[in-house]
């Protein structure tokens, strides 16, 4: 078992996690949900032992329990080869170093302590797959369509598609007792999603999964834990993602019902208290008679009774005042508008070819028309992003014809979210980048970013210093401000939380221009009301049946 006990995490004066408890045992499949910035990745880092909490503890039972943490983005060390990256990510590199140190100590002295340390190091190395790792690696890579030649190449030099598959290989090769996965579905194609699902179903390890892939959560989790952005507490839901969605809806309805009932009862009691007070004041002004004096004792009793009743009313009113309205917080209200109507033909490719080194896409013949709603699907590395760049005029064809139609205004959300603006300053702040991209003044850009829950502190930071989720929301903010009649989204749900994904779906539902989406998010595909779908594979583009709702 891996367990967080009463864990609190601070970032300077800011509270991130407050007295969080979470237990992970063999066979656990726990999905961690929460708004962007709520502390999901922080919780994984604390569980992995990479970050110490301000208070509370993380317990491992037994103490030799192995815990693996895989980040949401490929993060190679400088010059690190693919082979070294896989050894580090599977925990084997660390275990081998510990084994070598124990062996060296054993050669100097062979006492019980040295023998015990060596046995423990050897057991950990074998448990993490050290005995057959070198045999399994090329087999797993081949299954993913990655040549074994990448093992000697630095990870940073691999294509984006290859990096995604290498990160998936690290998951499939891992043999940790507990595996912590941070957004493992980002950029995965359908085959990769299926392989990840099979791994989650068959692995002996306990798994804690930060993800907003609704299909993955629905199919492969048995328990949901949500970090509340307001209270910073962890709220647990049994029964998996589908049950969580229903339970969350019921809890919210019940919370509003309790608040409405308490508000009505408080209003009634306050009216009664005012009435008693008014009656008491009116009685004080009346002239006393002999009969009143004869009834003094009875009046005293009534007065004491009325005072006691007033105190009881006040106590009940105060108690009802403690029933607070459910916290609603920030809500993304996104609209994607068309600036003007384009011509009937939005983009056309005629025998178009793109060549990059040994990679070749095409020849491609296709025509996109006004108000088409199109999805591009296909394996990682097949050339979907290259096709998007050619269709939008950002990448010239090396052969054939590629052209945009008349009156086309392109708005594009890049997969890497690398730059939301067009500032030529390398260290431009987010605010400066947004101002350059939208033509807005500083105050207008700040207001725009605030609508996407990006604060003044985040606006003052360089884009590179933002989290992937923050960069994604900033890019969507720019799209909303600029307007477009040809909207192109490359893996738009990557790094977004559930609320932002649902807001994006509503905005896309209302968008009346031409839409081109590259995605393997199965729930998003079902919601898009597609008119056409193209599959990219082996350098060729073919039209297939769109995904129905």
Given a contact cutoff of 8 angstroms between Cβ atoms, the answer to whether 40 and 227 are in contact is yes
Question: Lowest-confidence range among 154-163, 268-277, 496-505, 524-533?
Answer: 268-277
Tokens for 487, please give them.
């909207």
**CA-based Rg of the chain, rounded to a whole angstrom?**
31
| pLDDT bucket at 6, cuts 50 / 70 / 90 | very high
Average pLDDT over residues 460-488: 83
DSSP annotation string for 22-59: EEE-TT-EEEEE--TTSSHHHHHHHHHTSS--SEEEEE
Q: What does the CA dihedral 464, 467, 469, 471 come to, rounded to 10 degrees?
A: -20
| pLDDT bucket at 301, cuts 50 / 70 / 90 | low
How far is it, in rounded angstroms, from Cα 464 to Cα 73? 13
**Residues 533, 403 share a domain:** yes
**Residues 495, 398 share a domain:** yes
DSSP helix/strand/coil, 335: coil
Average pLDDT over residues 136-163: 87
**Residues 359, 313 share a domain:** no
Report pLDDT for 284.
Answer: 52
Question: Lowest-confidence range among 116-125, 257-266, 502-511, 512-521?
Answer: 257-266
- For residue 126, count CB atoms less than 10 angstroms from its CB and return exposed for 0-12, middle for 13-18, buried for 19 or more: middle
How far is it, in rounded angstroms, from Cα 456 to Cα 450? 8
Residue with tokens 């491609």: 364
Kindly state whether residue 455 falls inside one of the protein's structural domains: yes
**Helices 468-482, 498-510: inter-axial angle, 10-degree rounding:** 20
With a CB cutoff of 8 Å and minimum separation 6, the contacts of 59 are 1, 2, 3, 5
Report pLDDT for 143.
Answer: 85
Kindly state whether residue 225 falls inside one of the protein's structural domains: no
Given a contact cutoff of 8 angstroms between Cβ atoms, the answer to whether 402 and 396 are in contact is yes
SS3 readout for 268-326? HHHHHHHHHHHHHHHHHCCCCCHHHHHCHHHHHHHHHHHHHHHHHHHHHHHHHHCCCCC
With a CB cutoff of 8 Å and minimum separation 6, the contacts of 301 are none
284 vs 526, which has greater pLDDT?
526
DSSP annotation string for 99-141: HHHHHHHHHH--SHHHHHHHHHHHHHHHHTTTTTHHHHHHHHH
| CATH at 488 | 3.40.50.300
Preceding omega of 62 cis (within 30 degrees of 0):
yes
Is the pLDDT at 208 greater than 90, yes or no? yes
| pLDDT bucket at 312, cuts 50 / 70 / 90 | low
**Residues 370, 299 share a domain:** no
Kindly state whether residue 95 falls inside one of the protein's structural domains: no
Kindly state whether residue 450 falls inside one of the protein's structural domains: yes
Average pLDDT over residues 141-164: 86
Please calculate the CA angle 485-486-490 and round it to the nearest 5 degrees.
140
**Residues 493, 369 share a domain:** yes
Task: Please provide the average confidence, as pLDDT, over all residues in the chain.
Answer: 83
Strands of 438-531, DSSP E: 486-490, 514-518
CA distances from 248 to 20, 225, 252 (A): 19, 11, 6
**Residues 500, 441 share a domain:** yes
**Residues 362, 313 share a domain:** no
Report pLDDT for 188.
Answer: 82
Average pLDDT over residues 92-96: 91
Please calculate the CA angle 172-175-181 and round it to the nearest 5 degrees.
60
State the total domains in the chain: 2
**Residues 427, 301 share a domain:** no
Is the pLDDT at 419 greater than 70, yes or no? no
Report pLDDT for 539.
Answer: 84
**Residues 368, 265 share a domain:** no
Report pLDDT for 373.
Answer: 93
Quick: pLDDT tens for 41-71.
999 999 999 999 999 999 999 888 888 888 8
Is the pLDDT at 320 greater than 80, yes or no? no
CA distances from 228 to 180, 254, 322 (A): 20, 17, 20
How far is it, in rounded angstroms, from Cα 75 to Cα 5? 29
**Residues 412, 268 share a domain:** no
**Residues 513, 389 share a domain:** yes
Report pLDDT for 309.
Answer: 59
**Residues 384, 449 share a domain:** yes
Please calculate the CA angle 508-512-517 and round it to the nearest 5 degrees.
45
Kindly state whether residue 454 falls inside one of the protein's structural domains: yes
With a CB cutoff of 8 Å and minimum separation 6, the contacts of 497 are 33, 34, 35, 36, 38, 212, 469
How far is it, in rounded angstroms, from Cα 33 to Cα 467? 16
Average pLDDT over residues 480-494: 86
Kindly state whether residue 28 falls inside one of the protein's structural domains: no
Given a contact cutoff of 8 angstroms between Cβ atoms, the answer to whether 153 and 146 are in contact is no
How far is it, in rounded angstroms, from Cα 435 to Cα 441? 6
State the residue range of the domain holding 471.
345-544
**Helices 160-173, 82-89: inter-axial angle, 10-degree rounding:** 40
Residue with tokens 């084997």: 92
Report pLDDT for 296.
Answer: 57
Given a contact cutoff of 8 angstroms between Cβ atoms, the answer to whether 533 and 549 are in contact is no
Report pLDDT for 465.
Answer: 77
Reduced DSSP (H G I as helix, E B as strand, rest coil) percent helix, strand, coil of the chain, to 5: 45, 20, 35
Is the pLDDT at 9 greater than 90, yes or no? yes
Q: Side-chain half-sphere of 391: how many Cα atoms within 13 Å?
A: 33
Quick: pLDDT tens for 349-367.
999 998 887 788 879 999 9
How far is it, in rounded angstroms, from Cα 359 to Cα 160? 13
Quick: pLDDT tens for 97-108.
999 999 888 888
Residue with tokens 């004869």: 294
């Amino acid at each position: 078992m891996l367990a967080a006990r009463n864990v609190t995490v601070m970032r300077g004066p800011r509270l991130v996690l407050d007295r969080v408890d979470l237990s992970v045992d063999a066979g656990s499949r726990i999905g961690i949900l929460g708004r962007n910035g709520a502390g999901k990745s922080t919780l994984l880092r604390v569980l992995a032992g990479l970050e110490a909490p301000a208070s509370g503890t993380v317990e491992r039972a037994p103490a030799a329990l192995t815990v693996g943490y895989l980040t949401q983005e490929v993060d190679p060390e400088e010059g690190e080869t693919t082979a070294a990256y896989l050894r580090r990510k599977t925990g084997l590199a660390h275990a081998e170093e510990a084994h070598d140190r124990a062996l060296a100590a054993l050669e100097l002295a062979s006492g019980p302590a040295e023998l015990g340390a060596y046995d423990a190091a050897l057991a950990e190395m074998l448990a993490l797959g050290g005995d057959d790792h070198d045999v399994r690696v090329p087999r797993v890579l081949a299954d993913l369509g990655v040549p074994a030649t990448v093992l000697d190449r630095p990870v940073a030099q691999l294509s984006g598609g290859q990096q995604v598959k290498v990160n998936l290989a690290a998951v499939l090769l891992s043999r940790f007792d507990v595996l912590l996965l941070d957004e493992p579905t980002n950029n995965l194609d359908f085959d990769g999603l299926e392989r990840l699902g099979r791994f989650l179903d068959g692995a002996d390890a306990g798994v804690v999964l930060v993800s907003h892939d609704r299909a993955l959560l629905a199919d492969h989790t048995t328990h949901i834990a949500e970090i509340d952005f307001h209270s910073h507490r962890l709220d647990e839901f049994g029964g998996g993602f589908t049950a969580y969605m229903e339970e969350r809806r019921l809890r919210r309805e019940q919370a509003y019902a309790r608040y409405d009932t308490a508000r009505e009862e408080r209003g009634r009691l306050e009216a009664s208290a005012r009435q008693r007070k008014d009656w008491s004041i009116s009685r004080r002004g009346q002239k006393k008679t002999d009969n009143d004096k004869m009834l003094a004792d009875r009046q005293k009793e009534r007065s004491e009774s009325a005072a006691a009743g007033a105190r009881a009313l006040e106590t009940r009113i105060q108690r009802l005042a403690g029933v607070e309205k459910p916290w609603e917080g920030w809500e993304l209200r996104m609209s994607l508008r068309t600036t003007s109507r384009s011509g009937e033909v939005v983009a056309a490719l005629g025998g178009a070819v793109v060549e990059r080194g040994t990679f070749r896409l095409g020849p491609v013949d296709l025509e996109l028309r006004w108000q088409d709603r199109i999805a591009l699907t296909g394996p990682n590395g097949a050339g979907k992003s290259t096709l998007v760049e050619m269709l939008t005029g950002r990448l010239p064809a090396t052969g054939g014809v590629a052209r945009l139609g008349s009156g086309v205004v392109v708005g594009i959300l890049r997969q890497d979210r690398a730059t939301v603006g067009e500032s030529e300053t390398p260290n431009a702040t987010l605010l400066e980048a947004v101002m350059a991209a939208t033509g807005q003044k500083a105050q207008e850009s700040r207001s725009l970013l605030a609508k996407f829950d990006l604060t003044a502190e985040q606006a003052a930071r360089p884009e590179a210093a933002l989290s992937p989720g923050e960069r994604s929301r900033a890019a969507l903010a720019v799209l909303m401000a600029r307007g477009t009649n040809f909207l192109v989204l490359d893996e738009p749900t990557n790094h977004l939380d559930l609320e932002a994904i649902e807001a994006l779906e509503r905005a896309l539902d209302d968008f009346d221009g031409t839409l081109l989406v590259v995605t393997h998010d199965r729930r998003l595909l079902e919601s898009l009301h597609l008119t056409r779908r193209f599959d990219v594979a082996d350098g060729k583009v073919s039209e297939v049946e769109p995904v129905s709702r």
